[in-house]
Amino acid sequence: LQAIATARRLGAIVTATDVRPAVKEQVQSLGAKFLAVEDEEFKAAETAGGYAKEMSKEYQAKQAALTAEHIAKQDIVITTALIPGRPAPKLVSAAMVASMKPGSVIVDLAVERGGNVEGAVPGKVVTTENGVKIVGHLNVPGRVAASASLLYAKNLYAFLETMVDKATKTLAIKRDDELVKATMLTDAGQVVHPAFAKAAQEPRTEPAAKKKSAAKPKGTA
């Protein structure tokens, strides 16, 4: 969203795509055009924590076809799609890159998790045969540390503020809040997050190396 706002201030015509329905209004409020396949799967594509769910192969194919129609006209493409616990989804194919004009630039901000762009290389700027630059910088927030720290601090404050009672100025965690449910890992000595609860209940097995070291040495007395 910050990239959209900055580009709009510079006079750019901006199109943005996302699988989360809530983003549509945010994009349009900044004066950009929203691009997505808005079917039933799209309506349920966001987790309680605000992250995108992994979409079906069918949806990805429809979204890719829609994106391909527009990407050839773009001068700059910025990709940021990430899925918690999974590799970054491939959104821009080699064919899409080949359709872009010479001098166009693609910035893949998900390159550290596998990348959204086919042909992106972590830590390198690649120039394709048709003259398109694919930027795969690592640790982009570190390149703009002051701005990144400010934005992170604001987001963290807004999250923690919801857990404090303003009247008593004491901690007041609302366990039925969707954000709390999506981020709370343990509570009262138990693992409560659905992504980890099952693994926490499984019996532990000792590593083979530890078992061998614990075994009594063989020999004669």
In a domain, 26, yes or no: yes
Question: 26 with 45, same domain?
Answer: yes
In a domain, 215, yes or no: no
Q: Each residue of 196-211: pLDDT tens digit?
A: 888 877 777 766 665 5
Question: 38 with 51, same domain?
Answer: yes
Report the pLDDT averaged over residues 19-36: 87
pLDDT on residue 92: 94
Q: Each residue of 148-188: pLDDT tens digit?
A: 999 999 999 999 999 999 999 999 999 988 888 888 999 98
In a domain, 205, yes or no: no
Question: 11 with 41, same domain?
Answer: yes
Tally of domains in the chain:
3
Question: 45 with 91, same domain?
Answer: no
CB 21 within 8 A of CB 46: yes
Q: Which domain holds residue 45?
A: 1-73
- Residue with the bigger pLDDT between 101 and 199: it is 101
Question: 154 with 187, same domain?
Answer: yes
Q: How far is CA 15 from CA 67, 100, 142, 195, in A?
A: 10, 15, 27, 34
CATH classification of the domain holding 89: 3.40.50.720
Question: 88 with 124, same domain?
Answer: yes
- Pick from 55, 73, 91: which residue ends a domain? 73
Q: Using the predicted structure, report yes or no on whether residue 34 has a pLDDT greater than 60.
A: yes
Report the pLDDT averaged over residues 15-39: 86
Percent of the chain scoring above 90 in pLDDT: 52
Question: 68 with 88, same domain?
Answer: no
Question: 59 with 104, same domain?
Answer: no
Cα Rg, the chain, nearest whole Å: 23
Supply 72's token pair: 């050839």
pTM higher than 0.85 = no
In a domain, 209, yes or no: no
Give SS3 for 112.
Answer: helix
